[in-house]
Amino acid sequence: MKIYELARELEVKSKVLVDLMNENNDDKKYVATSVLTEDQVDFLNLEMENIKEEEEQKKNVKTDADYRPDEMIPCHSIFPGVVHFYGIHSGMTYKFVGSGDRRNVEYQDLKAAMLEGYPSIFNPDIIIEDDNLLNDEHWIDVKNVYANMFDENDIQKLMNLRASDFKVAFTQVPAVVQKIIIEKYATQIENGTFDDLSKAKIIDEICGTRFDLKY
């Protein structure tokens, strides 16, 4: 299949695919009439899928101001015991029982706890799962806390776990740490050093990635 033929199928301009091929290949100069291998077709399909997904996410991005005070935000505990998180505005007490336990917490309670510097937020017992919220500039300090919770050694230990334990641990770490692990595995796949398909399938299942198109 030629680049312009694939572009027609994907309903994009040939230049988009040509640029992708040239950005990821130093050995050959690609043009619209260049013939693609099956692996290259799979690569371009995956890249375009990722681009479209990113564009769709940008359309749906909410800012801090878009959240209703009583909007429920999914959170989970990383503390092995019981955690009582008190909602300053709602007056509710959210009870988390054990690591991995999930509860929805009102946005206004999380925002107040963040502004007040609650230890449960900044020395976290609970993790906010709304990645869109954490990407807002007002929540950057919380996002940085999550990113720094796990050093390189911690992440490597998690990646070395057997598949069943990896699945449990991967679901409990913050989204920002999941992304670091995904990037590391993607690099291993590109380098030909990745050999654990079970973990790739786990990540695809949890995060909606498509490692299955890469290995």
| Residue pLDDT, tens place only, 136-159 | 999 999 999 988 888 888 888 999
Domain boundary among 133, 148, 163: 148
- Angle of helix 3-10 relative to helix 38-59, nearest 10 degrees, comes to 30
208 shares a domain with 176: yes
Domain boundary among 113, 148, 183: 148
Domain boundary among 148, 171, 200: 148
182 is in which domain, residue-wise? 152-213
Tell me, rounded to whole angstroms, the distance of Cα 39 from its chain centroid. 25
69 shares a domain with 21: no
68 shares a domain with 15: no
| 2 exposure class (CB count in 10 Å sphere: 0-12, 13-18, 19+) | middle
Q: Which ranges in the chain belong to alpha helices (H)? A: 3-10, 14-23, 38-59, 107-116, 119-122, 131-134, 140-148, 152-159, 163-172, 175-191, 197-207
Q: For the residues 28-50, what does the mean pLDDT come to?
A: 90
Quickly state the pLDDT bin for 200 (edges 50, 70, 90): confident
Reading the block at residue 214, the tokens are 């890469």
Q: For the residues 156-182, what does the mean pLDDT come to?
A: 88
Rounded Cα distance between 44 and 52, Å, is 12
Quickly state the pLDDT bin for 75 (edges 50, 70, 90): very high
Longest dimension (CA), the chain: 65
136 shares a domain with 80: yes
| pTM of the predicted structure, to 2 decimals | 0.57
Residue 87 above 70 pLDDT?
yes
134 shares a domain with 95: yes
103 shares a domain with 35: no
Residue 79 above 90 pLDDT?
no
69 shares a domain with 31: no
Q: For the residues 41-69, what does the mean pLDDT come to?
A: 84
202 shares a domain with 162: yes
- At 103, give phi and psi (nearest 5°): -145, 155
91 shares a domain with 79: yes
140 shares a domain with 88: yes
92 shares a domain with 24: no
Q: Domain count of the chain?
A: 3
44 shares a domain with 16: yes
Q: For the residues 85-104, what does the mean pLDDT come to?
A: 94
What Cα–Cα distance (Å) separates residue 131 from each residue in 85, 150, 191? Answer: 20, 17, 29
